[in-house]
Chains A and B, each alone.
Chain A
Amino acid sequence: MASLMRGVRIASIPLAQGVTTFSPTPPPPPPPGPPILPIIGILLPILIAAPILVAQPTPPPEAVAPAPTPVATPGVAVSPVDPGALGTPVTPVVQPAARVTPIVLPAVPRAIATPAAEPLAQAVRAAPRILPSRQVLPYGGANLWMPFAGGLGLISLGMVLRRLAGPP
């Protein structure tokens, strides 16, 4: 007990000394310019969520076709349509040779796709497919991080310049 009381008394001494020696000098002025971290904290979630916020509306339920009744097709294992089902039992996939389906070239309108054109279409489609040599997978995105990073760089540079200029 005595040691505890002695500890309290000793601890109070520096506190009193600190109060008496408190400096009355004014606090330094706040740094100029907007803080960059709050700006990043606000803009980054907005940018990330932008595609969700502006996504196209989903067609109304009545516009979405109902699940069809499976039809047995020679050579193709048909399983009941179960949208979104996980872990659907894997059925034997495909027997391509047993399925004969007329093939239509996509660019030929149906109105002028004469029967004489069908064998030609099949022949073209059946030919060995050679991948284009100097082609890339279709461009499906945009480098949106570039202007975002560039903007952050400009903001940082502007803040540095304002800091160099000193307070107004």
Chain B
Amino acid sequence: MIVYGIKDPPPLYRILRVLGTLLIIAGIVLVLSPLGWVAYTAMAVGPTQTAALAAWERAATPAGPAQNPAAGMVVTIPRLDLRRFVPEGATPDHLRRFGVGRITWTALPASPGLLGIAGHRTTYGAPFFRLDTLRRGDAIFIDYNGRRYRYAVMESQVVRPEQMEVLAAPAGVRGIALVTCTPAYSAAYRLVVLGTLRGVSDSPAP
């Protein structure tokens, strides 16, 4: 008959037990760290994005936001219930502060080519978390320089990070490309949602 708790276990076993407990605690902390990182970055980017969007709309006078001192544009995607201020430059700093950014070497809305906008998928407010749910025909609005550009989603592509040719539009084509990481919680590939320009109108008053 085995009776537990009468004899103390050998020191090696006690060390193993303590070490195992420490590893379990460290593992739980490590497992929870992505959750904390997502929450922390969302709280960090939220006020900055909200303030930038408010400043952009305040500057959008009836004469148009051409006099807007803050260079940038606003992207609105109704299906995603998304409206974000897009600063010039998808630099790491801009992506950390605003969650999104315009890829500077891509075309502007008023010029031929693809307008490239990159955004975070899971962190920093996760503006493009549901980007993969966009379907063909979904509308994307860009408010820029006093005009509203309406794009329609055409297709989605999953490419490798170095496949930048996906942002090189054929001659004469005016479109938009929304870029984010995929799959979620990984930066192995890029999800690119491509759309074409459908119309241009006066930018609505804020």
Contact = CB atoms under 8 A, between A and B. Distances in A.
Interface of A: 29, 32-34, 39, 43, 46-48, 50-52, 54-59, 63-71, 73, 76-79, 81-88, 90-91, 93-94, 96-97, 101-104, 106-107, 109-111, 125, 129, 131-132, 135-145, 147-148, 150-168
Contact of A78 (B23, B104, B167, B199): B199
B186 A145 contact: yes
Nearest to B60: A65
B203 interface: yes
B110 A131 contact: no
A97 B19 CA distance: 71
Which residue, B9, B79, B181, has most C-beta atoms of chain A within 10 A? B181
Contacts of B197: 76, 93-94
Contacts of A52: 126, 129
B17 A161 contact: yes
Contacts of A54: 38-39, 42-43, 126
Contacts of A136: 161-162, 164
Nearest to A64: B83
Nearest 4 Cβ contacts at the A-B interface: A141-B181, A154-B27, A158-B23, A151-B30
Nearest to B14: A165
A140 B202 contact: no
A22 to B, nearest CB: 18
Contacts of A76: 197, 199-200
B53 A59 contact: yes
A158 B168 contact: no
B194 to A, nearest CB: 13
A110 B190 contact: no
Interface string B65-84: 01111010000101101110
Nearest to B180: A140
User: Which residue, of A109, A141, A156, A165, has the highest number of chain B Cβ atoms within 10 A?
Assistant: A141
Contacts of A106: 71, 88-89, 102, 104, 108
B35 A47 contact: yes
B137 to A, nearest CB: 5
